[in-house]
Amino acid sequence: MSTYTANEAKVNFGAFLDAAQREPVRVTRRDRVVGVMVSAQDYESMRAFYANRLQHTLAETGAHATAQGLTPEALDDLLADES
């Protein structure tokens, strides 16, 4: 993974964007990583991956709750309880 300082990224923005199309590029400020630039394609792939993972986790959690006897009515009661 390449690394650019924030100033290098600003001054050489075209090269910075080109590098990010090939691989993720770290951006540092004062020797600390403050961000990572990725291609639009990589970003969309990551979003899809995490959305899929969240859907899977929600489905597993729902199935577990149902197996433990949680009904829609009981869930409504739990959510309505403000104590």
Predicted confidence at residue 25, as pLDDT, reads: 98
**How many domains does the chain contain in total?**
2
User: Does one domain contain both 34 and 47?
Assistant: no
14: pLDDT strictly greater than 80: yes
For residue 58, the enclosing domain spans: 41-80
Together in a domain, 11 and 33: yes
pLDDT tens, residue by residue, 37-75: 999 999 999 999 999 999 999 999 999 999 999 999 998
Same domain, 6 and 31: yes
Cβ–Cβ under 8 Å, residues 16 and 8? yes
CA dist 12 and 39 (Å) reads 17
Q: Are 31 and 45 in contact (CB under 8 A)?
A: no
Number of Cβ within 10 Å of residue 25's Cβ equals: 22
Fill in the amino acid letter for 82: E
pTM for this predicted structure: 0.71
Residue 73 and residue 47 share a domain? yes
Tell me what pLDDT residue 20 has.
97
Residue 52 shares a structural domain with residue 75: yes
The whole-number average pLDDT for the span 21-48 is 97
